[in-house]
Amino acid sequence: MYPQNRMRRLRNSENLRNLVSETSILREKLIMPVFINENIKKPEEIGSMPGIYAYPLESLDSYCEKLGKAGIRNVLLFGIPSEKDSEGSQAYDENGIVQKAVPYFKKHGFLTITDLCMCEYTDHGHCGIIRNNDVENDTTISYYGRIAVSQAKSGADVIAPSGMMDGQVYAIRKALDENGFENIPIMAYSAKYASVLYGPFRDAAQSAPSFGNRKTYQMDPPNRREAMREIQRDIEEGADMIMVKPALFYLDVIREARERFDLPLVAYGVSGEYSMIMNAIKNKLLSENAIEEYVTSIFRAGADMVITYFAQYLGEKFEARMGR
User: Is 192 noted as a catalytic residue in this protein?
Assistant: yes
Distances (CA, A) of 235 to 27, 168, 268: 27, 12, 18
CB 277 within 8 A of CB 294: yes
How far apart CA 268 and CA 247 sit, in angstroms, is 6
Can 245 be counted among the known catalytic residues?
yes
Catalytic choice (69, 107, 174, 192): 192
Cβ contacts of 289 within 8 Å, gap of 6 or more: none
H helix intervals, 209-288: 225-237, 251-260, 271-282
> Which residues on neighbouring strands pair with residue 131, listed in sequence order?
134
Amino acid letter, 81: P
- In total, the chain counts a number of residues equal to 324
Q: Which has the closest alpha carbon to 27: 66, 68, 65?
A: 68
Contact 197, 107 (CB under 8 A): no
Which of 41, 245, 284, 317 is catalytic? The answer is 245
Pick from 173, 213, 167: which is nearest to 193 by CA? 213
DSSP single-letter state for residue 219: B
β-bridge partners, 187: 241
Q: What is the DSSP letter of 220?
A: P
Which residues does the annotation mark as catalytic? 192, 245
